[in-house]
Amino acid sequence: MRLARRGFTLVELIVVLVVIGIIASIVIARFVSAKERAYVASMQSDLKNFALYEQIYADDNYGNYFAGDGTAQGFKPSVDITVTATKVTGPPPDWNATAVHAKTSKTCTIGVADPTTWTIVCS
């Protein structure tokens, strides 16, 4: 007579661990991708806010734009993001800015086609 089994075999345990490992790797890959998209969204948002600061500054200063990080004008970027603007001496005067996040290698730039149109490109 054969005795009843009381547990799982080693092969069954290994198969279960492999399946759990595959599922975990898929979930982790999607999580990392979502974090990367969140960092890019933060940089885009900060660049839009920065563009508003540039426009308000230009309205108050006869069409001239500022360069640098905007702290002197009251701009405060999100945590771990650095925004830097560069003046383009025209004519007409213009500007562009770059946002960098400390936790990703991607950067976003904003350029101004005219005072009402902003183009943000991330790479």
Digit-coded pLDDT (tens) for 47-72: 999 999 988 998 999 888 899 999 88
Rounded distance between C-alpha atoms, residue 35 and residue 24, angstroms: 17
Rounded distance between C-alpha atoms, residue 19 and residue 11, angstroms: 12
User: Is 77 in a helix, a strand, or coil?
Assistant: coil
How many residues does this entry show for the chain?
Answer: 123
Q: Give the domain ranges of the chain.
A: 10-122
**pLDDT band at residue 115 under the 50/70/90 scheme:** low
Mean pLDDT on 99-108: 95
Q: What is the predicted pLDDT for the residue at 62?
A: 87
| CB neighbour class for 94 (10 Å; exposed up to 12, middle 13-18, buried from 19) | middle
* pTM score over 0.85: no
| CB neighbour class for 12 (10 Å; exposed up to 12, middle 13-18, buried from 19) | exposed
